Amino acid sequence: MNRRDFCAAASAIPTVLFAGRRSEAKDDASGESAPPKDVIGRPVRVVSIAFNNKPLDTIVQVIEKEAPRGTDIIALPETWRGQKQPESLDGATITAIAALAKKHRTYIVCPIDRTDGARRLNSAVLLDRAGKVACVYDKVFPYWSEYDLKPPVTPGLEAPVHQADFGRVGMAICFDSNYPEVWKRMADQGAELIIWPSAYSAGTTLQAHALINHFYIVTSTLRHDCIVYDITGEELLYEKSTDINVSRITLDLDRGIYHKDFNVPKRARLLKERGGDVMMEKELDREAWFVLKAKRPGVSARQLARQYGLEELRDYINRSRREIDTMRGWKFSEIK
């Protein structure tokens, strides 16, 4: 797949309107699951472990220490075991980390220098709570030096999004931060949380993707740091250590972000009739955006908003693009 095809495929993916839930009880015609009855919103406990040049045994010990404190997903840095000897999904690294995912019933994003037949790939491997490989992301835009390796790294072809039991998770790696089409591809598949393993920190480059695509971004880097960006694009956390940095944050995937266009009367009715269930957490006046969140257990703010006809910001922008392109007679985003 060449770059033209990658961009075209990204624009062709339909917007995903639903969001994942831990509970299996379905409560509406869309098949979307209701939030747990004892939890407000859809909280996801994320742990970023950032370090450089640490042996497998050391990182196993860190995960053994941190996982029992409570986690839904753990992120490790890009190719943290180096790029001297690629290994398969059956190799020592994935085998060891998968055992920890299963033992502690947590998802883990474990990047490796991966071999797949004759191909070498810079991969982020998502392990599920059973220790199984749930999803593999291959770096779509490897860095220049990766082409000097023997064999060179092969560019990835897809930007998959996985439906985890808590929501929709995507992954990107390091140099991918410079290419908006990777991030839009995940947004168009309904990504709610992006894990970004990297060699460097990127900073506001990542902030731009969170701002435009309205998903959370959590990093784990070889620079011993972690940044977390909100669905509004605001920085929620930055932590850095001299050795192994462990950052923890709980993110509510049931928070919804909306444009004021066409939504204000519907918002007023929602808050008037269901004010005990949902609240406007934040209003961004210059952007004309607002954020809704649940106020009590067993309520989904995003579900309620849809029932009252509110359209989420990402869906509104995508629908507007499609309809204006139709009126224009051709897609402005097409490469000419």
Confidence of residue 36 (pLDDT cuts 50, 70, 90): low
Instruction: Tell me: pLDDT of 299 over 70.
Output: yes
Of the listed ranges 21-25, 31-35, 256-260, the one predicted with least confidence: 21-25
On the question of a cis peptide bond just before residue 151, with omega within 30 degrees of 0, the verdict is: yes
What is the structure's pLDDT at 19? 35
Q: What is the largest CA-CA distance in the chain?
A: 64
Confidence of residue 39 (pLDDT cuts 50, 70, 90): very high
At position 87, the amino acid (one-letter code) is E
d(CA 108, CA 129): 8
What is the structure's pLDDT at 22? 40
pLDDT tens digit sequence for 308-317: 999 999 999 9
Instruction: Tell me: pLDDT of 29 over 60.
Output: no
What is the structure's pLDDT at 38? 87
Phi, psi dihedrals of residue 86, rounded to the nearest 5°: -65, 150
pLDDT (mean) for 35-44: 85
Instruction: Tell me: pLDDT of 5 over 80.
Output: no
What is the structure's pLDDT at 1? 53
pLDDT (mean) for 24-43: 58
What is the helix (H) or strand (E) element at residue 259, kind and residue range? Answer: strand 256-259
CB 256 within 8 A of CB 291: yes
Of the listed ranges 31-40, 98-107, 117-126, 197-206, the one predicted with least confidence: 31-40
d(CA 208, CA 214): 10
Q: What percent of the chain has pLDDT over 70?
A: 88
The two three-digit tokens of residue 290, written as one number: 């607002």
Instruction: Tell me: pLDDT of 30 over 70.
Output: no
The two three-digit tokens of residue 238, written as one number: 């930055």
d(CA 307, CA 302): 9
Q: In 10 A of CB 230, how many CB atoms?
A: 21
What is the structure's pLDDT at 148? 97
- Return left, alpha or beta for 274; rule: phi > 0 is left, psi -120 to 50 is alpha, else beta: alpha
Superfamily of domain 3-17+43-252, CATH level 4: Carbon-nitrogen hydrolase (3.60.110.10)
Q: Judging by beta carbons within 10 Å of its beta carbon (0-12, 13-18, 19+), is residue 88 exposed, middle or buried?
A: middle
Q: For residue 159, what is the DSSP state? A: -
Tell which residue, 264, 262, 255, has the closest CA to residue 303. Answer: 255
What is the structure's pLDDT at 330? 94
Instruction: Tell me: pLDDT of 246 over 80.
Output: yes
Average pLDDT of the chain, as a whole number: 91
Confidence of residue 35 (pLDDT cuts 50, 70, 90): low
What is the structure's pLDDT at 143? 98
pLDDT tens digit sequence for 89-146: 999 999 999 999 999 999 999 999 999 999 999 999 999 999 999 999 999 999 999 9
CB 189 within 8 A of CB 168: yes
pLDDT (mean) for 132-161: 98
CB 146 within 8 A of CB 83: yes
CB 93 within 8 A of CB 112: yes
Instruction: Tell me: pLDDT of 165 over 80.
Output: yes
CB 198 within 8 A of CB 221: yes
Strand positions, DSSP E, 117-163? 119-127, 133-138, 161-163
Which one has a higher pLDDT value, 135 or 30? 135
What is the structure's pLDDT at 284? 98
What is the structure's pLDDT at 333? 86
| Angle (deg, nearest 10), helices 204-213 and 180-187 | 30
What is the structure's pLDDT at 4? 45
Instruction: Tell me: pLDDT of 27 over 70.
Output: no
Instruction: Tell me: pLDDT of 259 over 60.
Output: yes
What is the structure's pLDDT at 9? 53
pLDDT (mean) for 53-70: 98
